[in-house]
Structure 1
Amino acid sequence: MFSRGSKQLLLERGSIARSLPRSARTHYQRYSSNAGPSQPKRTIVPRWILPYAAVGGVTAVGSFVYLYLKDIKSVPAPKEPPPVEVVVEEKILSRDRSKEENKEALSPQHLQVKKSWENPGVYAWGSNLGGVANPDSKETTVKTPQRIPYFDGMLLRDLKLDRNFGAAISEHGDLIQWGKGYSRTSHVPSKTLVGKNLVSICILRDRVVALSSGGDVYSLPVSKTDQESGTKPYETSWIPFWKNRASLSYRRLRPQLGLGEKVTAISGGLEHVLLLTSSGRVYSAACGAEHYPSRGQLGIPGLKWSTRPAGPYDICHEVSALHGLRVTDIAAGDYHSLARDKQGRVFVFGDNSSGQLGLPTDPSSSFLDTPTIIPLQKLYSGKGYDAKTTSIAAGGANSFFMVDAKRILGKEETATAVRDLGRVTKEVWSCGNGLYGNLGSGRWTHIQDAPTKVRALSGLMEFDDKTQKVVPIGVSNISVGSTHASAVLGNKTNVGASAKSSQTDTNYGSDVLFWGGNEFFQLGTGKRNNVPAPQYISPPSDVEISEPQRQEHRWEVTPRRTVKLGGRKVSFEQRVECGRFVTAVYSAV
C-alpha cells in the first residue's frame, strides 16, 4: 500500500512524458524509427556555411548563460516541504503531532477512554421532574448525557436512580441521596447513612436498602424528613457497654443465617427485596407496611398482610422452595423475582400479568407465589444445542436471560457431518411487557409470555488476534429500568496503549446499546421516539470530537483499569444504570 506522498510521487513521474512539447515527442519517434541497419541518405552542405554557424552557436550559448545567471537571483528560495502524512484507516496522522495526538486523530474512542480516566464522574439524562438527572437545573428533561457537577472527580461503589430521587454509595462506603423525593428544599446530593462501609444498594417505592461489606442490611426511608423524625435505633459505641442513638432513622433486616454465613447480594422491586447469602440461600422481605407485597413476589405461598407471621412487617422469609439449590444470582422487577442456581436453571415467581415470568399467562390468576422453573432448554429443543443460562436481569415488567448455547449432536447426526460441533453461541432472550419496545426484539408487544430472542445481541462474533480464532461476543451486563434497558457487550477491549506504543495502538472500550421507552429522553438519543431494538448513541458532549468523527462515533464504556488519579493508583471502570425514566453512566471502583 502506498502512502499519500508515494502516490503523489508516482503521479508526478507519470506526468513527465505527457508534459513534453509535441515537437520533442515527434523527434523521439523519428529517432526511433530511423534506427536500424540501413543508413540514411547523406546530405551535402556548402563549406562557407560552417564558419558562420560556429560563430552563431557561440553567441547563442553566451546569451543563454548571461540570461540564466541574471534571472536566477530573482528565483525565490524553495519552501520547506509540508509535513509528511500517512493515511491509516482513513484517518490522517502527522509527524508534526505527538503520538498521543495522532492516537486521538485515529480513534475517537481513544480520546473518550482518556477523558474517563482524567475526569471520572457521573453522566445522567432523562426525566428531571424530581431534580435527579440535573439537580442544578429546573428543566423537566435532560435530552442527552450531561455531567452532574457534584460527582466530578468522584468514584462510586454503586448508583441507583428513580424519577423522584437518586442514591449512590461513595468510594468510602457512605450513602449519598438527592432529588425532590429526598428533600423538597434542597435537591443537591448530600451524605446520609455514613460509617457503615456500604457496598451496594437497591431502591424501592419509598425506601433505600443498603448492604455493607460485612453483610449487614439497612433499610431507611427515602425522605429526609422521615429520616429525621422516625425512630432512631441504638448503635454500639467504641466505648464498651455504651450505646448511642443513630443520627437518622433506619431498620435492620436480619435473616436467620448459619455460622459464617452472610448476605452477599440484594435486589429490590417496588415493594419487596431479595437477599442472597454466601451459602446460596435466598430470603425475601417486605419493605413497606403501607404497600405490603401481595403478588407472590416474596416466593412464600399464601403470604400476605393478613397471614404474615408475628413480628416486624419486614421480617425476612427464606424462600424454602429454593433451599439446597445453591442460588448464585438474583434479580427483581417491580412485582416479580428471578433466581438462578449454579447449574444455570432459572426459577421465577411473582406477577405474570405481562408474561414477565416467561410462563403462559393465566386469566384466572395473574401471579405465582411458588418458585417455578422456566424451561429455557425447550427454546433449543430439536436444534442440536445444549443451553445454559449464565446470567439474569429484571426491571419493571421485564425479564432478560443470557444463555450459552453449545452445539451438540442431534438425534440423527454424526460427528463427522457436523462442522461446528462444540461451538458456543451467546444469546439473549426477553419476556414481559414490550409495549414501549423494551423487549429489544424489534417488535411492539403488549404481552410476551414466551421468551423471545433479542437478535441484535445474539450470535455476535469477532476475531481474536491472540488466539487467531473467531470467538463469540456475549453481554457482560444488562441494566433494566421501568420501560427501557441497556446492554454492555463483552467485546474485546484495549486499555494498554501508552505513549511508548505505536501511533496506531489506541485504547477502546466496550460497546453499549440502549432500547425501549423514550418518553423522557432516557435513551440519550436526543429524540423522543421509542426504540424497539438495541442501538448505539453518540458520546457525551464534553468529549470534544470533530464533526466527521462524531458522525461515525458511538459511546463506549471504559473497562476496568488501574490508573493514577490525584496522585494515587486506583482501579475503576464505567457502569451503566437504567432507572425509572432516568439513565446514568458512572465511574465505579
Structure 2
Amino acid sequence: MLKTRVRLPAKQLGPLFCPARFPFRHSLNPPRRFASGTSQKPSSSSHWFRNSLGFAVAGTAVFLGYTYGIDNWKEMWVDSSGTKETIDVNDLRSQFVQEKRSLKSPGVYIWGSNVYRVTDPDSKDINIKVPRRFKYFDGQVLKDFKVDEKSGAAITENGDLVQWGKGFSEHDFKPTTTLTGKNLVSLSMSENRIVALSSGGTVYSLPISKQDQAAGPKARESSWVPFWAGQAKMSYRILKPGLKLGERVTAVSSGQEHVLLLTSSGRVFSAAASTDNYPSLGQLGVPGLTWSTRPSGPVDTCHEISVLKGAKITQIASGDYHSLALSKDGRLFGFGDNSFGQLGVEFEPEFPSKDTPFLLPLSQLYKGNTYLPKITGIAAGGANTFFTVDATRVVGPGEEAADVRDLGHVTADTWACGRGIWGTLGNGRWIHLQDSPTKVKMLSGVGEYDEKTKQVAPIRLRTISVGTTHVSAVMDNHTHLSASTTESLDNSQDWGYDVLWWGGNENFQLGTGKRSNLSKPSYINAPPERKSKEAEARLQIMPRHKGRVGNRTVSMEQRVECGRHVSAIYSAA
C-alpha cells in the first residue's frame, strides 16, 4: 500500500511542527493602590504631587515595557491577524533550529566514540553521546569529510587535506593540515591509508599516520618554474590506472584493504589500499588475484575489472571487504566477502567470498511479475549492502491493462542485506546473517503530494551513509511548499530533508543520548545550541542554500557521514 505524506502550510501543522509562538502578554490587573495608613485627609497640593508622580512612573514603565517588547519580539512569530509572520535568525527553537544555525554559521557536528580523540580532540570523554559542535571547523564549508574510530580527515574549501585523531598522531591529535596544493575534491579511508581525488582526476594514496608520512619515501614533485623540481614534503603515492585519452577518475571508494576507482567512461579499477594487508577476499574483482599471484610492479597497481567492461558503471561502493558497482541501466554487480550475505546471494560456507563480479538477480525482489524494478542507488559499509529501487507497476500475467488502476505508478523502495545483529538492516529484526535482500519498510513506498505535477510522487532516498554497525538515510522530500524552488531558506515555509538513523549504538553513534541499538529507522533531536530545558525539534538536513562564510556568500548544503562508531553532519560546498 502506498504511504502518503502530505505537507501542509505551517499554520495547519499544529504545535508539534510549528515554530514556538510568543504572543504579547498584557496585564489586566489594576495598578496596586497604597494606603497612607492615616485617616487624615491629604491636602490638595500633596494630592497633586502624588498624582503627578504616579502618572510619571506609570508613563516611564509603559515606555520601558514597550521598548523592551519591541526590541525582543519585533522579529519573532506574531499570532495577530494581518501581521506578516517572520522569524528571528537567532531564535534556535522548533523546526528552524538547525536551519538558522546553518544560515548563521556553517560547521561540523560530530558524536560517537572518542577513545582516539576523533569526536572531540579537546575532551577526555570516552564517548560523545549527542551531536557536538567541532570547534575547529566553525565557519568552514568543506568539500569532503570522513571519520573513523581512530582518525578523521577532511578536505577544506581550498582543496587541502586536514587530519586529526590518535590514529594520525599519538601526541598531537588535533586537526593539522597535511597534503596541500593538490586541489583535492573527495577522499576515502582504509584501515591505515587515505585515498584522495583531485579536481583533475589524480588519485593520491598516503598513510594516515603522521609518522609514516614523515618517514616514508617521498616522490619528486614538479614545479611551475621550468627545469626546477623538488622533493615532496610528505610520503604519498599516485595511483595510475590505465586511462584512455580524455578519460579521468571521477570517484573513489575504499574498504579496509582495497579501493575502487570509477572513470568518466564508466570503467572500474581496483587496487590495494592498505599498508599492512593485501586484499584476499575477492574485493578487487579480479579472479584468482592474490598476494602470490599479483603481477610484477607496485603492490598498489591498479587493475581494471574486466567483467564490468561495457557495463557503463555510474556508481561504486565499498564495504569493509566487499565491493559494489551499479550500471547506468540499473544493474547491480557485487564481489568480495559474503560471510554475512552482504552480496545478496546465498552464503556458501565452502565459498565465503566471490572474486568474480556477478549480477544480482532482481526477480526475487518482486514476485508475480507485476513490477518492473530498476536499481537507482547503492551504498555499503562494514558487512552491509543497501540499494534503492524504482519499481514500476506493469501489466502482470493474466491481467488486463484497463483493470490495473495503478498502471505506470512508481514505488521507491530500499533493500538491505548482510549483518543485522545490531539492527543494521533496518527491518526490525536482529539477525546475524541476511543473504537475501530484505525490504526496509520504513523507507519504502513513501510518497508526498507534488505541487508541480499535482499528484502524489514517491519520496526517494537522497543519500545513505553506512558505518560499521550503524546507518543513516537522508530522504529526498520536498523542502518548499511552493512549486518554485529558491536558494534562500529564510522563509517560514521552508524546511530540511528528513534524516533517520538505526543500527548499533554501542558508542552512542546514533545521537539519541542512549546506548540502545535501533532495528528500525528513527528520528533524533537536533543538537542543542545551549543548555536548555526546552525540547529541540527533530533533526533535519539543510538543502543547498546560500549562507554567509565570513564576508562571503557561499552556496552550501549539509551532508551526513557515518564511520566506524562515529557520526557527523557537516556543511559542504
TM-score above 0.5, yes or no: yes
Q: Which residue of 2 aligns with 1:140?
A: 126
Cα distance in 2 for residues equivalent to 1:234 and 1:305? 28
Give every structure 1 segment of 4 or more consecutive aligned residues whose post-TM-superposition deviation is greater than 6 Å.
95-98, 102-107, 497-501, 543-546
Which structure has more relative contact order (CA 8 Å, sep 6+)? It is: 2
Provide the rounded CA distance (Å) in 2 between the counterparts of 1:153 and 1:260.
Answer: 37
Q: Distance in 2 between matches of 1:500 and 1:404?
A: 33
* 1:562 aligned partner, one-letter code: K
Q: Which amino acid aligns with 2:476?
A: G
Q: Which residue of 2 aligns with 1:385?
A: 371
Q: Deviations over 1:151-209 (max 9, x none)?
A: 00011000111101000000110000000010111111010000000000000011001
Percent identity over paired residues = 54
Corresponding residue to 1:523 among 502, 510, 526: 510
What is the aligned counterpart of 2:449 among 459, 463, 484?
463
Q: Which residue of 2 aligns with 1:329?
A: 315
Partner of 2:494: 507
The equivalent of 2:135 in structure 1 is: 149
**Does the alignment pair 1:220 with 2:206?**
yes
Query: In structure 1, what is the equivalent of residue 269 of structure 2?
Result: 283
- Distance in 2 (alpha carbons) for counterparts of 1:372 and 1:537: 38
Pair 1:443 & 2:429 matched: yes
Alignment of 1:108-257 (within 5 A): 108-257=94-243
Asked if the contact 1:359–1:450 (Cα under 8 Å) also holds between the matched residues in 2, the reply is yes
Secondary structure of the residue that 1:514 maps to in structure 2? Answer: strand
Amino acid across the alignment from 2:147: L
Confirm or deny that 1:407 pairs with 2:415.
Answer: no
Alignment check: 8 A CA contact 1:119 1:153 kept: yes
In structure 2, what is the Cα distance between the partners aligned to 1:399 and 1:206? 23
Letter matched to residue 587 of structure 1: S
Structure 1 position 107, deviation (Å): 7.7
1:431 equivalent among 417, 420, 428: 417
Give the superposition deviation at 1:499. 10
Indicate the residue corresponding to 1:317 in structure 2. 303
1:486 is the counterpart of 2:472: yes
Aligned to 1:554: 538
Q: Give the Cα separation in 2 of the matches to 1:583 and 1:106.
A: 22
CA distance in 2, matches of 1:190, 1:262: 29
Q: 2:558 pairs with 571, 574, 579, which one?
A: 574
- Tell whether the 8 Å contact from 2:387 to 2:415 is kept in structure 1 after alignment: yes
C-alpha contact (below 8 Å) 2:92/2:100 kept by paired residues: no
Instruction: Give 1:464 shift.
Output: 2.0
1:106 CA drift (Å): 12
Q: Is 1:588 the equivalent of 2:572? A: yes
1:99 deviation in Å? 4.0
Per-residue CA deviation, residues 120-145 of structure 1 (Å, 9 max, x unaligned), is 11100000001000011011100000
Q: CA deviation at 1:408?
A: 0.6
- CA offsets 1:439-470 (integer angstroms, 9 cap, x no match): 11110010000000000100001112333211
Q: Which residue of 2 aligns with 1:363?
A: 349
Larger radius of gyration: 1
Deviation string for 1:343-386 (max 9, x for gaps)?
10000000001000001010111000000000123311315100
In the alignment, structure 1 residue 563 sits paired with structure 2 residue 547: yes
How far did 1:496 drift?
A: 4.6
Q: TM-score, normalised by structure 1?
A: 0.81
Give, in whole Å, the separation in 2 of the partners of 1:349 and 1:134: 36
Task: Report the residue type matching 1:567 in the other structure.
Answer: N
The separation in 2 between residues aligned to 1:455 and 1:269, in whole angstroms, is 28
CA root-mean-square deviation: 2.7
Letter in 1 for 2:444: S
AA matched with 2:443: L
Q: Which amino acid is the alignment partner of residue 404 of structure 2?
A: V
Task: Give, in angstroms, the shift of residue 117 of structure 1.
Answer: 1.5
Q: Are the structure 2 counterparts of residues 288 and 469 from structure 1 closer, same or farther at C-alpha, using a change threshold of 3 Å?
A: same
Q: Matched residues in 1 for 2:83 and 2:271: separation? A: 60
What residue ranges of structure 1 are gaps of 5+ in the alignment?
A: 3-72, 84-90
8 Å CA contact 1:272, 1:298 repeated in 2: yes
Question: What is the letter of the counterpart of residue 449 of structure 1?
Answer: D
Map of 1:340 onto structure 2: 326
**Distance (Å, rounded) in 2 between the aligned partners of 1:229 and 1:247:** 11
Distance, in Å, in 2 between the alignment partners of 1:544 and 1:560 is 29
CA–CA distance in 2 between the matches of 1:498 and 1:361? Answer: 50
CA contact (8 A) 2:256 2:274 kept: no
Counterpart secondary structure, 2:365: helix
Task: Tell me, in whole angstroms, the C-alpha distance in 1 between the residues paired with 2:257 and 2:84.
Answer: 56
Q: How much does 1:321 deviate? A: 0.4
Distance 1:185 1:105 in 2: 40
Pick closer, same or farther for the CA change 1:289–1:165 going to 2, 3 Å.
closer
* Aligned-partner residue type, residue 472 of structure 2: S
Which ranges in structure 2 are unaligned for 5 or more consecutive residues?
1-10, 13-50, 70-76
- Secondary structure of the corresponding residue to residue 93 of structure 1: coil
Distance 1:106 1:314, change over 3 A: closer
Answer yes or no: is the 8 Å Cα contact 2:283–2:321 preserved in 1.
Answer: yes
Q: What SS does the corresponding residue of 1:328 show, helix, strand or coil?
A: strand
> Secondary structure of the equivalent of 2:169?
coil
2:21 alignment counterpart: none
C-alpha change, 1:142 and 1:111, in structure 2 (3 Å) is closer
SS in structure 2 of the partner of residue 427 of structure 1: strand
Q: Is the 8 A contact 1:436 1:530 kept in 2?
A: yes
| Partner Cα separation in structure 1 for residue 213 and residue 412 of structure 2 | 45
Give the distance between the partners of 1:211 and 1:165, measured in 2 at CA. 19
Check conservation: 1:497, 1:506, Cα contact below 8 A: no
Map 1:60-139 onto structure 2 (within 5 A): 93=79, 99-101=85-87, 108-139=94-125
Shift of 1:471: 1.1
CA–CA separation in structure 1 for the residues paired with 2:80 and 2:215: 65
Please state which structure has a larger fraction of its residues in helix.
1
| Counterpart code for 2:243 | L
